[in-house]
């Protein structure tokens, strides 16, 4: 079977919301297939027999009826094409939204590891490909009904000749079984390597200025070339299996077609069937052979679909809403108990034990690369420790401004409105915007702001949330010297009755604002005084 039972079930669940529209499409597709397969060869037989017998009026009426039916059939094809596209669009939208929902519950470390381009591929390219299951379903229905009705017409004309098909079908079944596993595996490799390549491509695109400034055009080209290699190899492998399978099945089919024409020709010579029947029979067989060929071509498509459904289910299964299970501690304090955390064997925290109380003002400092931002991600719950326990408020009680920072599409104003719509305080937002002097930024998308403006907007968004813990990573970076104390004062004012933790390289200048000092020394050593 090119598609597993569990994936058939998943496909059924995905298509359930559109079942009525889909059922209508498949019924009309089946009618269309049966109609053309039965009418086409029979009309040919009757028309040729009418010419042979010189029956002019029957010939004329038949010609008019056949032309009218063919016109109606074309209109039906137009309608089914549009309906099919509508169903595909709805399915793609449903899949993308569904996967995006899972994305926000994926492990943050995995997301950082894979990169932006990888997830763009998984949230856009794969749903688009998966929505093509509608085309596969329609093609499958068409082929099955063409085969059934074509075989019925052929049996009606000459059952002996139809027996020729019985030889070919088991061979095709065996072939399909042999190749579908290989095609499905190479499809998975292809999708994964494409997603990884898009991650590389996103980095290459982002490096525009760097490449121009250092004349690295050639290096960028070779990065693209080597990144593309794995996906091109997987594409080649996939095409090789599909083409090999289709070529072998086509050879089998052409032998059968030849055998039918020879046997039917002899039957006409012996006077067993009429010349009109010969034409009808060859026409019906060519339709059946065509349909069987298309059914064979569906095997690689079904194997591809199987791989895509596997990837869809796997992506969804990686979603864990860990924060939903975090117990809220009574006092909303933070404590690390014997926590270990490392990145690829580089220790960031080693047996770290510390407690931050409600209302503490903590300055986090330490050399570059020591692990300050990593600690901030552990505190917010985006990273989980390798060992030990972190007790902290749930993410809904924490507000943070972390690197890298990103908002949803739209202007800064749109993004603030979205937070207010979730229960945010409009008056507090207006106050923060006025105090931080970012009124002119409201109607611009975040990416078009200056770096200092971006920083102020990040602070405003962080403070807008009512939380019991506030965590800001380098809030003064890119802020002009004259504004630094004012901004720290704003942060201090808006975080009263909450714990405040700030990562700052120039913290010593403002040490009077803090009551505790957390020094990340590197190699996993951390000191809190
Ligand atoms: N996603 C990651 N995968 C692997 N290593 C990482 C990852 N993120 C950070 N690191 C490594 O962990 C170490 C700590 O990084 P982190 O960003 O926490 O340092 P930091 O103290 O905030 O530095 P800075 O002061 O320069 O901002 C660095 O050596 C960094 O290379």
The C-alpha atoms of residue 340 and residue 492 are separated, in whole angstroms, by 31
Q: Which atom of ligand 1 lies at the shortest distance from residue 376's CA?
A: 18
What's the alpha-carbon Rg for the chain, to the nearest Å? 34
Among 106-120, 199-213, 268-282, 382-396, which is the least confidently predicted range? 268-282
Cα 61 from chain centroid? 54
What's the pLDDT score for residue 86? 95
How many other CB atoms are found less than 10 A from the CB of residue 460?
23
Q: Among 372, 400, 476, say which to mutate for ligand 1: greatest number of ligand atoms within 8 Å of CB.
A: 372
The rounded Cα 120 to chain-centroid distance in angstroms is: 7
Q: What is the pLDDT of residues 515-524, one digit of tens each?
A: 999 999 888 8
Q: Express each pLDDT in 262-308 by its tens digit.
A: 877 888 888 888 888 888 777 777 777 777 777 777 888 898 899 99
Measured in Å, residue 371 CA sits from the centre of ligand 1 at: 5
Mean pLDDT of 182-187: 86
Q: How far is CA 316 from CA 14, 72, 95, 221, in A?
A: 13, 44, 11, 35
Q: What mean pLDDT do residues 24-35 have?
A: 91
Q: 453 CA distance to ligand 1 centroid (A)?
A: 25
Here the tokens at position 9 are 């079930």
- Please state, rounded to an integer, the average pLDDT across all residues of the chain: 88
Q: Please state the rounded mean pLDDT for residues 51-68.
A: 86
428-486: pLDDT as tens digits: 999 999 999 999 999 999 989 999 999 999 999 999 999 999 999 999 999 999 899 99
d(CA 352, CA 350): 5
For tokens 């596997």, what's the residue? 310
What is the number of the ligand 1 atom nearest to the C-alpha of 375? 18
ipTM exceeding 0.85, yes/no: yes
Residue pair 303/2 in contact by the 8 Å Cβ criterion: yes
Check: CB of residue 478 under 8 Å from CB of residue 505.
Answer: no
Q: What is the pLDDT of residue 136?
A: 93
Whether 327 contacts 371, CB under 8 Å:
no
Distance CA 444, CA 441 (A): 5
Task: Report the pLDDT value the prediction gives residue 271, as an integer from 0 to 100.
Answer: 84
- State the residue for tokens 């299951």: 133
Q: Report the pLDDT value the prediction gives residue 330, as an integer from 0 to 100.
A: 47
State mean pLDDT over 415-420: 93
Q: What pLDDT digit, counting tens, does each position of 329-357 carry?
A: 545 789 999 999 998 888 899 999 999 99
Which domains are seen in the chain, by residue range? 20-320 (1.20.1560.10), 334-528 (3.40.50.300)
**150 within ligand 1 shell (Cβ under 6 A):** no
pLDDT of residue 161: 66
Q: What is the mean pLDDT of residues 401-426?
A: 91
3-state SS string for 89-132 = HHHHHHHHHHHHHHHCCCCHHHHHHHCHHHHHHHHHHHHHHHCC
Nearest CA to ligand 1 atom 13: 369
pLDDT of 386 over the 50 cut:
yes
What pLDDT does 327 receive?
47
CA of 400 from ligand 1 middle (Å) equals: 18
For residues 201-225, give the mean pLDDT. 88
**Is a pLDDT exceeding 50 seen at residue 328?**
no
Backbone φ and ψ for 346, nearest 5 degrees, come out as -90, 115
State CA 157 to chain mean position distance: 50
Confidence of residue 155 (pLDDT cuts 50, 70, 90): confident
pLDDT at res. 502: 96
pLDDT digits (tens, 9 = 90+) for 99-116: 999 999 999 999 998 998
Mutate to test the pocket of ligand 1, among 374, 384, 402, 521 (most ligand atoms within 8 A of CB): 374
Distances (CA, A) of 475 to 74, 461, 484, 488: 65, 12, 9, 8
């Amino acid at each position: 079977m090119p598609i597993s039972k569990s994936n058939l079930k998943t496909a059924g669940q995905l298509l359930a919301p559109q079942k009525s529209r889909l059922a209508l499409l498949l019924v009309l597709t089946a009618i269309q297939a049966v109609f053309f397969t039965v009418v086409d060869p029979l009309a040919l037989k009757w028309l040729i027999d009418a010419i042979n017998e010189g029956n002019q009026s029957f010939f004329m009426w038949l010609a008019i009826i056949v032309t009218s039916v063919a016109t109606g059939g074309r209109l039906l094809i137009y309608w089914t094409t549009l309906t099919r596209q509508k169903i595909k669009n709805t399915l793609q939208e449903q899949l993308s939204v569904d996967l995006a929902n899972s994305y926000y519950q994926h492990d943050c470390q995995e997301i950082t590891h894979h990169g932006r381009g990888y997830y763009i591929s998984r949230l856009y390219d794969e749903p688009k490909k998966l929505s093509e299951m509608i085309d596969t379903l329609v093609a499958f229905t068409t082929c099955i009904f063409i085969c059934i009705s074509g075989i019925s017409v052929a049996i009606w004309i000459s059952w002996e000749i139809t027996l020729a098909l019985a030889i070919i079908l088991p061979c095709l079944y065996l072939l399909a079984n042999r190749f579908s596993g290989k095609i499905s595996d190479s499809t998975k490799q292809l999708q994964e390597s494409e997603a990884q390549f898009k991650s590389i491509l996103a980095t290459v695109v982002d490096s525009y200025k760097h490449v121009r400034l250092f004349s690295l055009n050639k290096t960028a080209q070779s990065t693209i070339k080597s990144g593309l290699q794995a996906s091109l190899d997987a594409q080649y492998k996939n095409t090789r299996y599909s083409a090999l399978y289709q070529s072998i099945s086509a050879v089998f089919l052409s032998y059968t077609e030849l055998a039918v024409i020879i046997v039917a020709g002899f039957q006409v010579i012996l006077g067993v069937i009429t010349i009109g029947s010969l034409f009808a029979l060859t026409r019906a067989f060519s339709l059946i052979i065509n349909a069987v060929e298309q059914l064979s071509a569906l095997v690689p498509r079904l194997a591809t679909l199987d791989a895509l459904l596997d990837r869809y289910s796997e992506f969804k299964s990686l979603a864990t809403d860990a924060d939903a299970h975090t117990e809220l501690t009574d006092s909303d304090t933070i404590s690390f108990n014997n926590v270990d955390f490392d990145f690829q064997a580089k220790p960031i925290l080693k047996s770290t034990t510390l407690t931050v109380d409600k209302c503490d003002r903590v300055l986090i400092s330490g050399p570059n690369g020591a692990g300050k931002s990593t600690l901030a991600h552990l505190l917010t719950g985006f990273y989980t420790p390798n060992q030990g326990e972190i007790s902290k408020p749930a993410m809904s009680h924490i507000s943070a401004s972390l690197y890298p920072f990103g908002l949803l599409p739209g202007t800064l104003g749109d993004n603030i409105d979205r937070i207010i719509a979730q229960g945010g305080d409009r008056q507090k937002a207006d106050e923060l915007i006025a105090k931080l002097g970012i009124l002119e930024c409201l109607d611009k998308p975040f990416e078009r702001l200056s770096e200092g403006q971006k920083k102020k907007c990040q602070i405003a968004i962080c403070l807008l949330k009512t939380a019991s813990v506030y965590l800001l990573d380098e809030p003064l970076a890119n802020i002009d010297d004259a504004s630094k104390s004012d901004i720290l004062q704003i942060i201090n004012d808006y975080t009263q009755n909450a714990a405040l933790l700030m990562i700052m390289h120039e913290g010593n200048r403002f040490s009077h604002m803090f009551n505790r000092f957390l020094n990340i020394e590197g190699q996993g050593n951390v000191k809190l005084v």
